[in-house]
């Protein structure tokens, strides 16, 4: 069998999409060791990709400049998008991707995957009306348009409606559509009013596509139990509810105050506010983010309980699968997920590892339970997601397409 993966983001650090796309390729190679796996990498930034670590047979790599436009595109665009509700800049970008996609000899492949990236899905939308699309399985990593993301602050306008209509044509032409989340697959299927089923292929994690030979920037824990969150504070992720519950716990229990710490490695527009709010709490340590290899090493070797944050507020739900979930499952450590009532994580994680974002007592009790569980079981080995991210489950999801 011959397999082709077309990707936009295979960075080794900085984006969860890079991590899960690299791992997706590795898991495909694990599933089909006798097959040929080829890669077409159409990236839009200069980045550290370490393509040599990927288990592929042939690589075509192209750098697509999506940030520079000629004057004949820029000037008319000021008027064009207001009249036609689509942008010449976007069409110019798509033309660059189409140029490379049209060169692919797609007929020689048994499976073709086109993986989405970012908020604009350039490579997938550029495939519209090309013959390759009828043979391709397209991946929705997040809701599209981003307006439909529960964490988005965008409002519906004619440009967003055009994007949805454009993607509707892509969905109609594609061989199949997939997303990493059951809720997202269901929502996108309804959004596009499509008779075409959106299949669910969960994110994967494979350590084989990362180089751990030079880990040199991580923090050793300073207390017996270390709770940690590594990631962005963005959209509607709320770390405050968990930190406030943790403060209540250590204020009520001097032993836990003396023997636990909460370590944050965060980025995003809430970082300074959080630093200011918790600056006088000695048990809470707030640090800068580090690259994925060092971060994953630190979580594996120095963290005892690891946090997942989903989009949370009074009106939100979370229909995406957080990219870190399969990595955290591989660690076999306790997780506490702060989630809304409608949540993909809630559907796949065991009850003791999840708490509802607006239930202070539940968050406090679950966190305290996990701290004691780990305190009393030094070599604790747990599987919060069961076999959801196993190779057997991955095989089932791929073979269902």
The rounded Cα 107 to chain-centroid distance in angstroms is: 31
Residue 314, pLDDT score: 67
Q: Which of 156, 183, 209 is the last residue of a domain?
A: 209
Residue 71, pLDDT score: 80
Q: Which of 164, 183, 209 is the last residue of a domain?
A: 209
The yes-or-no verdict on residue 150 having pLDDT over 80 is no
Mean of per-residue pLDDT scores for the chain: 93
Tell me what the mean pLDDT of segment 159-181 comes to: 94
Is residue 257 one of the residues assigned to a domain?
yes
**170 and 31 assigned to the same domain:** yes
**312 and 368 assigned to the same domain:** yes
Q: Report which of residues 77 and 327 the model is more confident about.
A: 327
Is residue 386 one of the residues assigned to a domain?
no
**116 and 265 assigned to the same domain:** no
**33 and 158 assigned to the same domain:** yes
**182 and 232 assigned to the same domain:** no
Is residue 394 one of the residues assigned to a domain?
no
Residue 70, pLDDT score: 80
Is residue 387 one of the residues assigned to a domain?
no
**6 and 152 assigned to the same domain:** yes
Residue 117, pLDDT score: 87
Residue 4, pLDDT score: 98
**314 and 370 assigned to the same domain:** yes
**242 and 105 assigned to the same domain:** no
The yes-or-no verdict on residue 308 having pLDDT over 70 is yes
Q: Determine the 3-state secondary structure of 271 from DSSP.
A: helix
How many Å apart are CA 196 and CA 221, to the nearest integer?
49
Residue 89, pLDDT score: 87
The yes-or-no verdict on residue 146 having pLDDT over 80 is yes
**170 and 251 assigned to the same domain:** no
Is residue 388 one of the residues assigned to a domain?
no
Residue 315, pLDDT score: 62
Least confident of 190-194, 237-241, 255-259: 190-194
Residue 225, pLDDT score: 98
How many Å apart are CA 245 and CA 16, to the nearest integer?
28
Residue whose C-alpha is closest to residue 104's, from 230, 34, 2, 219: 2
Question: Per-residue pLDDT tens for 254-273?
Answer: 999 999 999 999 999 899 99
The yes-or-no verdict on residue 376 having pLDDT over 80 is yes
pTM above 0.85, yes or no: yes
Residue 148, pLDDT score: 81
**192 and 241 assigned to the same domain:** no
Task: Identify the CATH number of the domain in which residue 34 sits.
Answer: 3.40.50.2000
**264 and 360 assigned to the same domain:** yes
Residue 282, pLDDT score: 97
Which residues sit opposite 4 in a β-bridge?
A: 38, 112
The yes-or-no verdict on residue 194 having pLDDT over 80 is no
Give, in order, the Cα–Cα distances in Å from 245 to each of 22, 40, 242, 361.
36, 47, 5, 8
Tell me what the mean pLDDT of segment 222-246 comes to: 93
Domain that holds residue 108: 2-209
Is residue 220 one of the residues assigned to a domain?
no
How many Å apart are CA 346 and CA 353, to the nearest integer?
9
Is residue 395 one of the residues assigned to a domain?
no
Give, in order, the Cα–Cα distances in Å from 256 to each of 221, 243, 259, 287.
15, 14, 5, 22
Asked if 66 and 44 count as a contact pair (C-beta separation under 8 A), the reply is: yes
What interhelical angle do 16-31 and 391-399 show, nearest 10?
80
Question: Per-residue pLDDT tens for 65-113?
Answer: 888 888 878 778 777 777 777 788 889 899 999 999 999 999 999 999 9
**177 and 238 assigned to the same domain:** no
Is residue 176 one of the residues assigned to a domain?
yes
Could you give the number of structural domains in the chain? 2
């Amino acid at each position: 069998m011959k397999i082709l993966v077309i990707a936009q983001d295979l960075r080794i650090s900085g984006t969860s999409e890079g991590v899960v796309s690299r791992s997706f390729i590795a898991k495909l190679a694990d599933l089909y060791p006798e097959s040929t796996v080829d890669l077409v990498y159409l990236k839009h930034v200069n980045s550290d990709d370490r393509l040599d670590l990927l288990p592929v047979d042939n690589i075509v790599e192209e750098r697509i400049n999506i940030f520079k436009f000629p004057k004949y595109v820029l000037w008319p665009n000021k008027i064009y998008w207001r009249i036609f509700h689509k942008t010449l800049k976007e069409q110019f970008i798509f033309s660059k991707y189409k140029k490379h996609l049209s060169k692919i000899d797609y007929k020689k492949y048994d499976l073709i995957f086109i993986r989405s990236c970012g908020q604009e899905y350039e490579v997938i939308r550029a495939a519209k009306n090309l013959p390759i699309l009828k043979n391709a399985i397209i991946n929705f990593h997040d809701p599209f348009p981003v307006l439909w993301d529960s964490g988005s602050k965008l409002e519906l306008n004619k440009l967003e409606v055009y994007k949805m209509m454009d993607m509707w044509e892509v969905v109609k032409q594609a061989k199949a559509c997939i997303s990493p989340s059951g809720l997202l697959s269901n929502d996108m299927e309804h959004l596009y009013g499509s008779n075409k089923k959106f299949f669910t292929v969960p994110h994967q994690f494979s350590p084989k596509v990362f180089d751990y030979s030079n880990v040199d920037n991580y923090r050793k824990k300073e207390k017996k139990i270390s709770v940690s969150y590594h990631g962005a504070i963005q959209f509607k992720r709320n770390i405050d509810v968990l930190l406030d519950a943790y403060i209540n716990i250590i204020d009520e229990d001097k032993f836990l105050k003396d023997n636990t710490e909460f370590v944050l490695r965060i980025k995003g527009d809430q970082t300074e506010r959080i630093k200011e709010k918790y600056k006088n709490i000695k048990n809470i340590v707030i640090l800068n983010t580090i690259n994925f290899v060092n971060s994953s090493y630190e979580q594996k070797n120095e963290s005892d309980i690891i946090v997942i944050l989903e989009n949370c507020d009074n009106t939100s739900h979370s229909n995406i699968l957080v990219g870190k979930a399969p990595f955290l499952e591989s660690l076999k450590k306790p997780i506490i997920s702060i989630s809304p009532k409608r949540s993909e994580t809630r559907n796949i994680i065991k009850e003791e590892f999840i708490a509802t974002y607006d239930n202070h007592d539940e968050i406090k009790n679950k966190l305290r339970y996990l701290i004691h569980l780990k305190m009393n079981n030094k070599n604790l080995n747990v599987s919060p997601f069961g076999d959801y991210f196993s190779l057997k489950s991955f095989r089932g999801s791929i073979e269902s397409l």
